[in-house]
Chain A
Amino acid sequence: MEGGIEFGLKLVDHIAYSLLASAIVILLAFLVVRRREKGVPKGWQNAGEYLIEMLMKLLGEDFPERLLPTVVPFLTTFFVFILICNWVGLLPHGLPPTADLSTTVALALVAVVGFQVISVSVHGGWGAFKQFLKPVAFFAPLKIIDNLARVLSLSLRLFGNITGEHIVAHIVGLIIPLFFPVILSMLGLLVGGIQAVVFTMLAMKYLAEEVGAEHLREQEEFSLGEGEAA
């Protein structure tokens, strides 16, 4: 679909808005690390640390401790970028970059390739390959199809939700331009937030499955228990 979907929308390029979203993300990151304090954080740094700590708590349930420094930045980046992309559409005449299929497919591809990269960094090349043959070699084609389906489902879910919300908001704004667009903007805020969370959570679950995080966690707990006994 060249140039996105035209329902009488005045279309400006999605790429311009995704560049705007990237600029906002970089600005936010800059604000968070500008004045680093070791003690009690304030302002932007506090918000950033809150986000990271929340995600680390969430991920700590699934991943062993030594994987967290690899996994948390990977997933936090997805969360922040998708959130800002979704909310850029709420600006006047704004267009969410995630309402274009190219953006979401790119994000999903980065995620699925990233799973394999992290898997290689954890298990080594041969170990990551053997991860495909678990529990029996018969599962290898299924796992490859599984990875392709993940690209499809992650990208189409984000695209469909944001596009649908944007089109509905636009059409209602055409019919009743007085007060209803405000309510729909609030709905858009909610949908954007939830979809960012959902993308991150699903990426997290897929990643945990791909690197066999449950197994690694059990190993870690076992070795910790041995250390205490000795």
Chain B
Amino acid sequence: MDVMSLKLLSVAGAVVAISAGAVTMGFAMARIARSALEGMTRQPEASGTIFTSMLIAMALVEALCIYTLVVALVLIVANPLVK
């Protein structure tokens, strides 16, 4: 396979990876935010602890999307197949 089509395929792969990651993480984070907001409206006095727990949960979920971002960046910037 020539270099140009490899580059095109890598860019296409990066786009697919990052959009799939963004869409799924959007759904996951929406669920976290929804349940946290429900908890906060039910118990406003506990909103501080709920907020910090929500931040941690969101960071853990977001890390998965960040991994796809890193893979996409590797595909575009430092692709091991395209020298």
Docked CA distance A160–B55 (Å): 17
Docked CA distance A160–B59 (Å): 12
Docked CA distance A5–B73 (Å): 9
Determine the interface band of chain A, counting residues with CB < 8 A from chain B.
Answer: 10 to 19
Nearest chain-A residue to B77 (Cβ)?
A: A5
Docked CA distance A1–B67 (Å): 16
**Additional A-B contact list (9), CB under 8 Å, known A164-B69, A201-B52, A205-B56:** A1-B78, A5-B73, A159-B66, A160-B67, A161-B62, A161-B66, A194-B55, A197-B55, A202-B59
Q: What 0/1 pattern do residues 137 to 165 of A give for CB contact below 8 A with B?
A: 00000000000000001001101110110
A-B contacts, CB under 8 A, total: 39
* Majority SS at the chain A contact face: helix
B-facing residues in A123-148 (Cβ within 8 Å): none
**Which of chain A's residues have a CB closer than 8 A to the CB of B69?**
160, 163-164
Q: Is B9 in the interface zone, CB < 8 Å from A? A: no
Docked CA distance A6–B73 (Å): 11
